[in-house]
Structure 1
Amino acid sequence: MELGQKLKEVRLTERLTQTEICEITGVKMETWKAYEYARSKSVSSIELLKVTTHPRFKKYALWLVTDETAPACGQISPVIG
């Protein structure tokens, strides 16, 4: 799964709109949309850090970067339906 799709899965699992996640993380709306709609081939490390270091989303950091989880360490993946 591409990183932009993974970011979308995190947003949906957290039941946030694009506007809400952008307000929470500080990622610009046009940037977030470019990731979700695959208009951008890569995700900026600065923008990824805004998500992975935010207390609400830290639990997804390992999965976002490596596709792995470590539940014992609190690292999970979103529930993908």
Structure 2
Amino acid sequence: MSTLSMSVGEKIRAIREAESLTREEFGVLLDIPIGTLKRYETNRIGSVGGDVLMKIAQHPQFTKYTMWLMTGNIAPEVDQISPALSPDGQNSISSPQNGQKAG
């Protein structure tokens, strides 16, 4: 599925799965009820509230996805990636310029 056609709920699910987290684990980290999270991910709730988006964007484990979550764009040079570019899940990405951890 193209990033442009993904709903915010689908993006939340992609982030959670890229980080190898269950809904329960993700919900606990962000203080989001599991039922609410499931409804977001399955598009039963059409609009994700700004408070939920801020919880994800400001959580240290998920800040690398902020630009992609909000706009669908990425900027790896400033550590803004999509879940597809995070094969190591919870680990930070490496900077291709110098081989050091970027996050």
TM-score higher than 0.5:
yes
Aligned partner of 1:50 in structure 2 is 55
Length-normalised TM-score, structure 2: 0.75
Instruction: Name the residue aligned to 1:77.
Output: 82
Give identity over the alignment, percent.
39
Q: Which has the higher helix share?
A: 1
- The answer to which structure, 1 or 2, has the higher relative contact order (CA under 8 A, 6+ apart) is 1
Tell me the secondary structure at the aligned position of residue 30 of structure 1: helix
Answer yes or no: is 1:35 the counterpart of 2:18: no
Displacement of 1:30 in angstroms is 1.5
Alpha-carbon separation, structure 1, partners of 2:56 and 2:7: 16
TM-score, scaled to structure 1: 0.95
Residues 2-30 of structure 1: CA distance to partner in whole angstroms, max 9, x if unpaired?
A: 00000000000000000000011111111
- CA deviation map 1:43-75 (0-9, x unaligned): 000011111100000000000000000111110
1:75 alignment partner, SS class = coil
Partner SS, residue 84 of structure 2:
coil
1:69 & 1:79 partners in 2: Cα distance?
11
* 2:27 alignment partner, SS class: helix
Give the whole-Å Cα distance in 2 for the aligned partners of 1:65 and 1:31: 19
Q: Structure 1: which 4+ aligned runs deviate by more than 3 Å?
A: none
CA RMSD of aligned residues (A): 1.0
Structure possessing the higher radius of gyration over alpha carbons: 2
Q: Could you tell me which residue of structure 1 aligns to residue 26 of structure 2?
A: 21
Pick the aligned partner of 2:67 from 62, 65, 77: 62
10-19 or 23-32, which deviates more: 23-32
